[in-house]
Chain A
Amino acid sequence: MKDVLTTCAFCGCGCGLYLQIEKGYVTGVTPSQRHPVSRGRLCARGWHIYEFVHHPDRLKKPLVREGGAFREVDWREALDMVAKNLIGIKDKYGSDSIGVIASPKCTNEDNFVLMKFCRAVLGTNNIDNGASLYDSASLPGLMQSCGFGASTNSLNELEDTEVILAVGTDTTQTHPQVASRITRAISSGATLIVIDPQKTKISSFANVHLRLKQGTYVGLINGIIHIILKEGLINEKDVSRATSNLDSLKKMVEKYTPDYVSELCGISGSDLAKAARLFAKADKAMTVYSTGATAQAAGKDIVCALANLALLCGHLGRPHNGIITLQEQNNALGAADMGTLPDFYPGYQPVNSETERAKFESEWNTKLPAKPGLSILEMLSPGRLKALYIMGENPLITAPDVGLTSETLDGLEFLVVQDIFQTETAEFADAVLPAASFAEKDGTFTNIERRVQRVRAAVSSPGEALPDWKIITELSKRMGYTMDYGSPAQIMEEISHLTPIYTGISHKRLDEEWGLQWPCPDKEHPGTGVLRRDFYEGPKAIFPLIEQNGKGKEHFTPVQDIPLMEPPDAQYPFTLTTGSLYWHWHSGTMTRRSATLSREYPDVFAAINPQDAEQLGIRKNQRIRVISKRGEMETAAMITDRVQVKTVFIPQHYKNTASKVLLNPSSFTNAKASEMFCAVRVEPVMKI
């Protein structure tokens, strides 16, 4: 019996917890008291994370499809078969006919090895990770404005700021650690401004809740900027010193007068002005946002608008002033850091830059493709690829359109799925490879405040399951390229060697501390809590991005509002939204197997406003039908004023949710971002 300190594998907060081990089994969890994020606290998900680890459904042996069924095989047979097929497809159709989906749930080391495999062995940049389905906006949005596509500040700073602007985030449900910091800030006198169509627990603490119409975020934020400019509330000193492009921003927001915005967003002009003044006049203010803002076509624009607002008021680049992006997966940031992106190598070094490519080619001793690859939505569109390699991701549940996704998966000549459970996606696979869970492997996760933290093996894997990185290296060997790593620590050595923001990071150092926040440019560097303004004048070699943006400064990126892809109309008068529940996580493969967590919401439901329920004659728990232009689903009604009038909310975690059947597939053709909204009609299955 021994307790093993590791990092929670659910949300992006990255709590430190000890797994309690008894006779080779994880039997419980102890929160770490001195860990800077958990501080002795865990949410219900964290407290129950041990429950799925030894679930009998865990994959224990490799599976190979034969006819309509799977056959258990040994590793040798499975890997030979996968290697043969991948080589065959590569030879026949070329490297770019193969795609790879990496996982924001797996470790940095797993993702790095998969990324290297994709680029150096398969020879394509067709790699993306599952987090891009929800948040493909933060990376380009923040990078364009602030130089880095990640949170600028640390979570604990929230407690000591004066104004918090929370945008599109049901924080208590998705990121309880962040929510508690917000409520603590409020109890010590901070002001909270919430921009969200939904009523959330956080919004009940708000001084101003701007309950805008869905799809009007950009208009609203531009409206706030308009007021700030008009009333002369900008932080002149910061803006003139550190930012560029103010004139075009001024021009862009001209039309967003209070009258125009209150009409557009359905909010009162006085609330708008109040929010603008509170935010602009504060000495310290922080912005937090989540998938409510990013999971839509306008996601990137919303992030840019928020960055514009923060820059304008000087609420960026200083302690207690910054933007925190609340990624929902444990290693969403790390997966991106590791270059599981179609256009970036690790550390956001662009693939189309000759110098970067030359560096990786010489290190890896092979030729690398120059052309940026396909995004996850492109890869999941029918007909784009011949083969797909999926690690720890379940797009059949998480991608916006289950119909299109299954058409894509069906149409592939070869599909490999590497996971801990036989997921819905794995049912389509030609080979299923059993992977180790977070409790069974060493490595690192990077949380939403850029903190790279250790994940430690506490128990052995069930059956023959192997760590993801190990599976990839074995496969790589069979495809003629040897990756010789003895341990994840060695993989991290290569990561830090090739990734400027990770240079000072090693497992040894991480073991001595509570993780390190990147950028960590050398072995003595203590890590970076606040991405400070003065970094931009610092050692530029470490920050090629900043140089690339060419400004050496943060940058205003004017944006204008675009309507929802599918606004409601007379025939489909409701807006369907989807999102997370506190008790579940992501596609639910783990939380639906936890007895305690799944007991809270065992089944999918559709939440509607009491006003709509009365009008339609729908009672609590009654079976209702939700119908979109593309399909329909039947489910139980939940009646709550947390959703706006003429809105339906269906949580995303369930197998038969079908909410995704209804969602807008046009996001595929647009291929920029998945939009988690569409127009629907609601009716009772039986009239009572």
Chain B
Amino acid sequence: MSRYEENLWIITRDNLFALMEVFIKTREVIAPVRGHGGEVIFYPIETIEDVAWDWQYVNAVLPPKRFFLPQTEVMFEYRHDNSYKITPHYDDQVRMIFGIRPCDVNALIFLDRFFGGGSLSKESTDEEPLFPDSHYIKRRANTFIIAFGCHQPGENCFCVCCDAGPFLEEDYDLQLTSMNADYVVEVGSARGLKIIYGNEHFFRKASSDEVKELERIKEGALNTFADTCAYVSKAIRRITEGKVDDSLWEELAERCLDCGGCSYVCPTCCCYNIVDIALSDKSGIRTRTWDSCAFAGFTRIAGGEILRSDKKDRLKRRFFHKLSYRYIEKNKRHGCVGCGRCITTCFADISMPSVIEAVRRQ
């Protein structure tokens, strides 16, 4: 429970709609919307009707990672006349992400540490970042988050095994959970509390029955997970101790089709490539684009040599990075949040649960 736990509020559906209309007028609001054929994607909304209000969806194909680290972005432009002139490009858009799931919020905390040295949703960071990434940090600071707890996890979800859901316990601004026709609102930060106090007429304090009901919903959600994913810690131990035989990675490598999708849909994967594009003899832009350790070219060095040219080594590295205790200690959390997107996107059924299962069986 967060230290704002005394602040458990209720907002009715109508009031939430009204509150959202206020937000839409003042910032870009990103929410889960129904795309073609009813599929869910995160997307800036124009009216509250755009939101997939039934919440009957598993995770969107892509996490909202792209609103903090776009698949491609211009970092700066340069001009060379007599000297170099560099003009950074920043995204100053004020945003709100509404309806983000706890797994994806946990992934953002992971990215905060990578790009900013600590959790950026807290008032101060844990430590001074070595290489603060101003592009990420600006976007993160400009984005307010309203999370939605999952009282009905999807069939591919295993956040519970990764300590990343189905409800947030810390590191969030506001967390909403459906209760009957209304929503319970948990406050996780001063920023969140400010929203409540700034719009107090939309909220009322939760009754003690409603507090109990929320606990019941949370317990109920936990019971809907399949229990097979309890082998995560076994996988962590075996990978950390180097006890996974290479034959596993060889077998997976035979199936992998090199799409890079696992990295792209993963909410914690954040490797990028830097590409300079000349616009003239004297000017150009520096862009960065998503990249994937699944690609052989990812480790191409000068002279054309590729350090991890064997796919089995790349796959091993990927899962080592997600699961080895060495990285958990460094990142202060799992490299996997259990969102299950890799299950959907892999051509060859190489996903976190399938690898964990394979490690167990080996």
Contacts and interface: CB of A to CB of B under 8 A. Distances in A.
Nearest to A621: B304
B259 A41 contact: yes
A451 to B, nearest CB: 14
Given A43-B259, A183-B255, A204-B254, A29 B39 contact: no
Contacts of A55: 277
Contacts of B70: 20, 22, 27-28
B36 A31 contact: no
Contacts of A1: 28, 44
Contacts of A184: 349
A50 B71 CA distance: 9
Contacts of A204: 254
Contacts of B43: 2-3
Contacts of B105: none
Contacts of A582: 258
Interface string B262-300: 001000000001010111000000000111000111001
Interface string B336-349: 00000000111111
B347 A41 contact: yes
Interface string A604-630: 000000000000000001000000000
B66 A28 contact: yes
B289 A595 contact: yes
B295 A42 contact: no
A596 B44 contact: no
A18 B41 contact: yes
B289 A56 contact: no
A535 B235 CA distance: 55
B73 interface: yes
Given A2-B44, A5-B36, A621-B304, A27 B73 contact: yes
Contact of A47 (B35, B264, B296): B264
B72 interface: yes
A1 B296 CA distance: 33
Contacts of A51: 72, 289
Interface residues on A, range: 35 or more
A40 interface: yes
Contacts of B28: 1
A156 to B, nearest CB: 14
A147 interface: no
A600 B255 CA distance: 19
A229 interface: no
B37 A514 contact: yes
A30 B297 contact: no
A177 to B, nearest CB: 8
Interface residues of B, number: 44
B304 A595 contact: no
Interface in B304-362: 304, 344-349
B29 to A, nearest CB: 11
Given A32-B39, A41-B261, A56-B278, A596 B348 contact: no
Contact of B259 (A35, A176, A514): A176
Contacts of B37: 32, 34-35, 514
Nearest to A582: B258
A71 interface: no
A28 B44 contact: no
Contacts of B73: 27
Interface in A183-238: 183-184, 187, 201, 204
B261 A47 contact: yes
A44 B295 contact: yes
A242 interface: no
Nearest to A26: B72
A33 interface: yes
Contacts of B258: 43-44, 582
Given A20-B71, A600-B297, A621-B304, A31 B261 contact: yes
A599 B297 contact: yes
A5 B43 CA distance: 12
A179 interface: yes
A47 B273 CA distance: 14
B220 to A, nearest CB: 27
Contact of B257 (A20, A31, A176): A176
B38 interface: yes
A20 B39 contact: no
A514 B37 CA distance: 8
B289 A30 contact: no
A51 B273 CA distance: 13
A29 B71 contact: yes
Interface in A53-90: 55-56
A595 B275 contact: yes
A18 B35 contact: yes
Interface in A139-174: 172
A51 B288 CA distance: 11
Interface string A490-526: 0000000000000000000000001000000000000
B347 to A, nearest CB: 4
A342 to B, nearest CB: 37
Interface in B100-132: none
A172 B71 contact: no
B61 interface: yes
B62 interface: yes
Q: What are the nearest 7 A-B pairs in CB distance? A: A28-B71, A599-B297, A180-B347, A40-B344, A595-B275, A34-B37, A34-B39
23 contacts: A2-B44, A3-B41, A22-B70, A27-B66, A27-B70, A33-B344, A34-B38, A41-B346, A43-B257, A44-B258, A44-B259, A44-B295, A47-B259, A47-B261, A47-B264, A56-B277, A176-B259, A179-B257, A183-B348, A184-B349, A201-B257, A595-B289, A600-B297
Given A32-B61, A595-B273, A595-B275, 14 more contacts: A30-B61, A39-B344, A40-B345, A42-B261, A43-B257, A44-B295, A46-B259, A47-B261, A51-B289, A183-B348, A184-B349, A204-B254, A582-B258, A600-B297
